[in-house]
Amino acid sequence: MTGLLLRDAELGGRERADVRLAGGLIAEIGGGLARRPGERVVECGGGALLPGLCDHHLHLHALAAWRRSVVCGPPAVTGRDALAAVLRDAVPDEHGWVRGVGYAESVAGELDAAALDALRPGGPVRVQHRSGALWILNSAAVRAAGLASAEHPGVERDAAGRPTGRLWRADDWLRTRLPAAPLVDLGPVGRELARLGVTAVTDATPDLGAGALAAIEAAVRDGTLPHRVHLLGLPPDAAPPPHPRLGTGPYKIVLADSGLPPLDELSARIRDAHGHGRPVAVHCVTREALVLLLAAFEDAGIVDGDRIEHAALVPEVLVPELARRGLRVVTQPGFLADRGDDYLRDVPAEDVPDLYRCRSLLDAGVPVALSSDAPYGPLDPWAVMDAAVTRATRSGAVAGRDETVPAAAALRSLLTGPEEPGGPPRRVSTGEAADLVLLHVPLAEALHHLSADNVRATITGGSLTAERHFRSS
Q: How confident is the model over 440-472, as pLDDT tens digits?
A: 999 999 999 999 999 999 999 999 998 875 555
pLDDT, residue 84, reads: 96
User: What average pLDDT does range 220-247 have in this prediction?
Assistant: 94
For the domain bounded by 69-177, which CATH number is listed?
A: 3.10.310.70
Where along the chain do its domains lie? 1-52+430-473, 54-60+184-425, 69-177
Judge whether 1-52+430-473 and 54-60+184-425 match in fold.
no
How confident is residue 74, by pLDDT bands cut at 50, 70 and 90?
Answer: very high
Q: Inform me whether the pLDDT recorded for 285 exceeds 60.
A: yes
pLDDT, residue 258, reads: 74
For the domain bounded by 54-60+184-425, which CATH number is listed?
A: 3.20.20.140
pLDDT, residue 189, reads: 96
- Statement: the pTM of the whole predicted model exceeds 0.85: yes
Could you please state the CATH topology (level 3) that the domain comprising 1-52+430-473 is classified under.
Urease, subunit C; domain 1 (2.30.40)
pLDDT, residue 257, reads: 78
Task: Write the secondary structure of the chain as one string of H (helix), E (strand) and C (coil).
Answer: CCCEEEEEEEECCCEEEEEEEECCEEEEEECCCCCCCCCEEEECCCCEEEECEEEEEECHHHHHHHCCCEECCCCCCCCHHHHHHHHHHCCCCCCCCEEEEEECHHHHCCCCHHHHHHHCCCCCEEEEECCCCEEEECHHHHHHHCHHHCCCCCEEECCCCCEEEEEECCHHHHHHHCCCCCCCCCHHHHHHHHHCCEEEEEECCCCCCHHHHHHHHHHHHCCCCCCEEEECCCCCCCCCCCCCCEEECCEEEECCCCCCCCHHHHHHHHHHHHHCCCCEEEEECCHHHHHHHHHHHHHHCCCCCCEEEECCECCHHHHHHHHHHCCEEEECCHHHHHHHHHHHHHCCHHHHHHECCCHHHHHCCCCEEECCCCCCCCCCHHHHHHHHHHCECCCCCECCHHHCCCHHHHHHHHCCCCCCCCCCCCCCCCCCECCEEEECCCHHHHHHCCCHHHEEEEEECCEEEEECCCCEC
